[in-house]
Amino acid sequence: MTKSLKDILNLLKPYLRKELLGLFFTILYAIGSFLSPLASKYLIDNVIQVKNITNLYFGIMVFFVISFIQPIVGFFKDVIFLNISENITYDIRNDVFNSVLNSPIDFFSKNKKGEIVSRIINDCQILGEFITNFLVVYIKNILSIIVILIGMFYLSPKITGVTIIFLIFASLLIVLMGKVFRRLSLIRQKNYDKLCVKVNQMIDLIETIKSFVIEKKIKDNFQDINKKNKKDNIKIQKIHIIINNLINSVVIIVLCFIYGFGTIEVSKNNLTIGTVVALGVYFQMIIQPIFEVINNHISLEKIVPVLNRINEFTNIKLEDFENDINHKVVIYNDIDIQDVSFSYNDSWNLEYINMHIQKGNLIGILGQAGSGKSTLVNIILGFYEPKKGTILLDGISTNDLGKHSVRQAIGYVPQNIQLFNDSIRENIRCYNDKIDDEDIMQVCKKTGIHEFIMSLDKGYDTIINEKINISGGQKQMIAISRALAKDPSILIFDEPTSALDPKNEKEITSLISSLRGKYTLIIITHNISTVYNADNIFVLDKGKVLENGTHDELISKNGMYKKMFQYSKKLKGEKRNEAISKAT
């Protein structure tokens, strides 16, 4: 048994009882298929040939019972298997989504958004639909083939034996073509992923595309991939056409043999006309299930790439939450970062970082792009594991506290604010039912966003989407409100003013200052004015701490901080002079 088939059978295990019930109805359905040709034989041999009208009523009654009961049995059979397959699709999609959700953060940098969406939505749907066919068609057809072969052997072992030889030959040809299906399906699926990525990029970067007038280039790139996808689909459909024509040829050849050889046997009184007709009917009934089983096998070849892609996601090494404690962590004392080093590849992004952060202090981590600031935040949050060194909260290693526990103790405001397509209330609560409406309102008053929210028609129930006009500063305040609502011990701000105008920058800086002493504040920034009044400023460059201290202490050291400060003053002076000249 192939690994792919084993994987599919493992998906079916939880629904064994329902499958057995479906199997019972499938057997009843197959028995109906078995009886129909025998009823035809009875009518021809015992009614038509001997002109015995008395036997007509019995034959018609048998046909009537079969035609009445079989659709009802078929309905229950299909509904049972449909229910199973939809539950399996539901389970698969949940498993893949949960695996992705609980993957380490570097998983999302290694996989493109379009590919992730494609696997969760499209691949799971394809696999679910295949399982529907596998359950409803495969099992029904296997039973039908067995029952029909019994009927054919009962009527004529000779004709049945030759018929089987023809069918085996045709089946082998079709199975060989299935190998080509597997290769083409893998290529097609990769191209489909690329299409999804291109569409996602087009939507995400539409303003950039239009502003740089590169619509034609984007369209040409999309059409190139779409053309490859079209060619792959044509190749796959050509194989389908060859298979269908091969099946039609086999049907004609075998029927000619059955009726030709059957006529000879009738002339020798070895068979009756009713038997020959019944054999022809049986063959026409068996040809569909046989080739549907083969198509299932081909579909299994096609589904292997999809199954492998799903397994890649479900077998991801998930974040380790084994050490998580069951209660919320409150940081009562200091934070110590001891000899922390980290690298994404071969070169070190952080080297022997040492920081002592006192409880309640405002700490600035200052550096230009690429200095390692954001990497350090990712390590504190447990998104990445340091290659060397450790981080202690209250003297306890973050490894011993566990990732979830550490993150519960930290309120994080990222540089790129991301809000859910949901109400403002849920965005601030962040789906934590323990945070009530009063808590939400209090933190929003503290951050100064309450009045703006209440000015909206639906207030806190306003859905955040493209139609709602929210400024960068307002988004920042909602994000800070969200961080405060979880009642953390530590607040981390990653470039809190980088995308704001001077007015909003002043408001956010003032808001952060008002939180001083109530929380341990860590501000990651390249902007000196944001951390000018910090209790301790750590200056990072190329992954190393060059110096630290208060503003005055760092100025007196005459190092990198002083150069950055002087450059910042010069830049502000130039901007001020430019504004004055424009005004005059």
DSSP conformation letters of 417-438: ----SSBHHHHHHTT-TTS-HH
Helix 124-133 to helix 54-101 angle, to the nearest 10 degrees?
160
The answer to whether residue 498 sits within a structural domain is no
Res 547: pLDDT:
92
The answer to whether the CB of 354 falls within 8 A of the CB of 338 is: yes
Residues 259, 399 within the same domain: no
Q: Which 8-state DSSP code applies to residue 461?
A: G
* Domain shared by 189 and 294, yes or no: yes
> Please, are residues 254 and 282 in contact by the beta-carbon 8 Å criterion?
no
Residues 310 and 338 in one domain: no
Query: pLDDT tens across 236-263, in order?
Result: 778 778 777 777 787 788 888 888 888 8
Q: What CA–CA distances, in Å, run from 574 to 214, 482, 571?
A: 35, 37, 5
Residue 380 lies in a domain: yes
For the sheet with 350-357, list strands across it: 350-357, 335-342, 388-393, 396-397
Q: How far apart are CA 557 and CA 546, in angstroms?
A: 11
**Does some domain include residue 538?**
yes
Regarding whether 214 and 119 lie in a shared domain, the answer is yes
CA distance 485 to 447: 11
Lowest mean pLDDT among 119-133, 171-185, 259-273, 500-514: 171-185
Q: Which of 503, 484, 562, 499 is CA-nearest to residue 528?
A: 562
Residue 393 domain-assigned (yes or no): yes
Same domain, 207 and 267: yes
The DSSP H or E segment spanning 210 is helix 206-211
Model confidence pLDDT, tens digit, residues 409-440: 889 998 888 888 888 999 898 888 888 999 99
In the predicted structure, residue 162 carries a pLDDT above the cut 50: yes
Please state, in angstroms and rounded to a whole number, the distance separating the CA atoms of residues 126 and 119.
10
Same domain, 306 and 340: no
Count of other CB atoms within 10 angstroms of residue 544 = 15
User: What mean pLDDT comes out for the span 430-458?
Assistant: 89
Kindly report the CATH number assigned to the domain that includes residue 81.
Answer: 1.20.1560.10
Closest CA to 514 of 471, 484, 488, 554: 484
pTM of the model: 0.67
Highest mean pLDDT: which range of 109-118, 212-221, 249-258, 478-487: 478-487
pLDDT in the model for residue 301: 65
Q: How far apart are the first and last CA of the chain?
A: 85
Separation in Å, CA 497 to CA 360, 485, 493: 21, 21, 9
159 falls within a domain: yes
Residue 169: CB partners within 8 Å, gap ≥ 6?
none
| Contacts with 443 (C-beta within 8 Å, 6 or more apart), sequence order | 428, 481, 484, 485
Give the residue with greater pLDDT, 299 vs 206. 206
Chosen domain end from 314, 342, 362 = 314
Confirm if 143 and 27 have CB atoms less than 8 A apart: yes
Question: What is the DSSP secondary structure assignment for residue 544, as one 8-state letter?
Answer: E
Last residue of a domain, one of 259, 286, 314: 314
Give the strand pairing for 396-397 and 410-413: unpaired
> Is 11:69 a contact under the CB 8 Å cutoff?
no
DSSP secondary structure, 344-408, as one string: SSSS-SEEEEEEEE-TT-EEEEE--TTSSHHHHHHHHTTSS--SEEEEEETTEEHHHH-HHHHHH
Instruction: Tell me what pLDDT residue 340 has.
Output: 92
Distance between CA 515 and CA 520 in Å, rounded?
A: 9
Q: In whole angstroms, give the CA distance from residue 584 to residue 267.
A: 117
Position 262 in a domain: yes
Higher pLDDT, 192 or 548: 548
Same domain, 353 and 296: no
- Torsion, Cα of 106, 473, 496, 443 (10° steps): -90
Tokens of 175: 């199975």
What pLDDT score does 454 carry?
Answer: 92
Both 77 and 195 in one domain: the answer is yes
Residue 381 dihedral angles phi and psi, to the nearest 5°: -80, -5
Residue 359: Cβ within 10 Å count: 15
Say which residue the tokens 């079209």 belong to: 230
Confidence check: pLDDT of 354 > 90: yes
CA distance 64 to 396: 79
Same domain, 355 and 298: no
Lowest mean pLDDT among 135-139, 482-486, 545-549: 135-139
φ/ψ of 277, rounded to 5, equals -60, -45
What is the share, in percent, of the chain residues with pLDDT greater than 90? 11
Report d(CA 27, CA 460) in Å as an integer. Answer: 58
Alpha-carbon span 203 to 215, nearest angstrom? 12
Residue 572 belongs to domain with CATH number:
3.40.50.300
Secondary-structure breakdown of the chain: helix, strand, coil percentages, each rounded to the nearest 5: 70, 10, 20
Q: Does the pLDDT at position 170 exceed 50? A: yes
Res 378 pLDDT > 60: yes
pLDDT of residue 502: 76
Task: Evaluate whether residue 515 is within a structural domain.
Answer: no
Amino acid at 261: F
Rounded to an integer, the average pLDDT of 507-517 is 85
The CA distance from 15 to 90, in Å, is 13
The DSSP bridge partners found for residue 536 are: 363
Residues 302 and 343 in one domain: no
Q: Greatest CA separation found in the chain?
A: 121
CA distance 46 to 494: 90
Q: How confident is the model at residue 83 (pLDDT cuts 50, 70, 90)?
A: confident
Containing 474, the helix (H) or strand (E) segment is helix 472-485
Following CA atoms 452, 457, 459, 462 in sequence, which dihedral angle do they give, to the nearest 10 degrees?
A: -110
Do 80 and 196 share a domain, yes or no?
Answer: yes
What's the token pair of residue 434?
């323990």
* Sequence letter at residue 578: E
Q: Who's near 123: CB < 8 A, 6+ residues apart?
A: 96, 189, 306, 309, 310
List the beta strands (DSSP E) in 22-102.
Answer: none
Listed residue (351, 398, 386) closest to 372, CA to CA: 351
Q: Are residues 228 and 376 in the same domain?
A: no
Total count of domains within the chain: 2
Rounded to whole angstroms, the Cα distance separating 201 from 208 reads 10
Which residue segment(s) compose the domain that 386 sits in?
333-409+526-584
Q: State pLDDT tens for residues 329-345.
A: 566 678 899 999 998 87
Res 5: pLDDT: 61
Domain presence at residue 307: yes
Which residue, 282, 314, 346, sits at the end of a domain? 314
Residue-level pLDDT at 584? 46
> How far is CA 146 from its chain centroid?
40
What is the 8-class DSSP label of residue 118? I
Retrieve residue 9's tokens: 């059978």
